[in-house]
Amino acid sequence: MPASPARFARIAIVGRYASPSIAEPLTALVTFLRSRGHAIVVEAETARYTTLDDLPTADAETLGAAVDLAVIVGGDGTMLTVARKLAPYDVPLIGINQGRLGFLTDVPLARMTALLGSMLDGAFVEERRTLLAATIERAGKPDEEVLALNDVVVNRGSHGSVIEIGVDVDDRFVYAMRADGVIVATPTGSTAYALSAGGPIVDPAVPALALVPVAPHALTYRPIVIAESSRVTISLQRGIDAAVNCDGQAYFALAEGDRVRVRRAARSARFLHPPKHDHFAMLREKLHWSETPERLAARLPRDAAID
């Protein structure tokens, strides 16, 4: 029986939700961690898609109190969910990429045990990422507060026309515009929806947020980078079927006159990366910078290769 390791003695295992293919890599992960003497707790929803019946489980809301580290096997969507729920416990996170791009889950599945072993022995780079706290103020309803790691987005619904919104920063009026919406993005979220909407990529080391209009009716509305200490207020002045969503996962319908207040959260998300992690190298790899069409086609799966 191996001795219980001093570093990260208790490890949570979280797998991509509702994914039948998650069972095999999770079983391999558990076997590896057990061989090292770690105590393992499986997130309750994950346990439904595996045969790890002999392991203790905990729901995502209480998991952080029981462990020293969480290992997430899945894509960035799974990591976003887990990061928000474990942030109050200041639990560090390691992401094993079973998704596509993997900006947050940066340990390749094929190298899982090799890289994870060295990281559990202390060879890692630790990084803290800003979280947003969004307060939704709606007439006739109690205020609701939600965390976001990527972004807070106010936008029109699928059946609505453009909306009119007003934006204030630290109680200073910025603009009112007709648009499909507006994004408040952290540096982490600057490579997500905000990037698709024409926003800048913000280095995670920069203490800033990005305000990114979505399809504004006047092209003079441009993305703005503001201090992460800023408090942003978005008011819905006109529009039907509008909503606010946080990380694309928590949705709240909005009516005219409702407001969304966004600020930096008191807690941050802790990520552990392999020792040679470099943000710019990651961007080059994930965004295929400096690739010729021939080299890119050779690297992509056959069904994703470009002509």
Q: DSSP states of the chain as a string? A: -PPPPSTT-EEEEEE-TT-GGGHHHHHHHHHHHHHHT-EEEEEHHHHTTS--TTS-EE-HHHHGGG-SEEEEEE-HHHHHHHHHHHGGGT-EEEEEE-SSS-SS--EEGGGHHHHHHHHHTT--EEEEEEEEEEEEE-TTS--EEEEESSEEEEEE-TT---EEEEEEETTEEEEEEEESEEEEE-TGGGGTHHHHTTPPP--TTS-EEEEEEES-SSTT---EEEETT--EEEEEEE-SSEEEEETTTEEEEE-TT-EEEEEEEEEEEEEEE-TT--HHHHHHHHHTTT--HHHHHHHS-GGG---
Question: Which of these is catalytic: 54, 59, 68, 76?
Answer: 76
241 labelled catalytic? no
Catalytic residues: 76
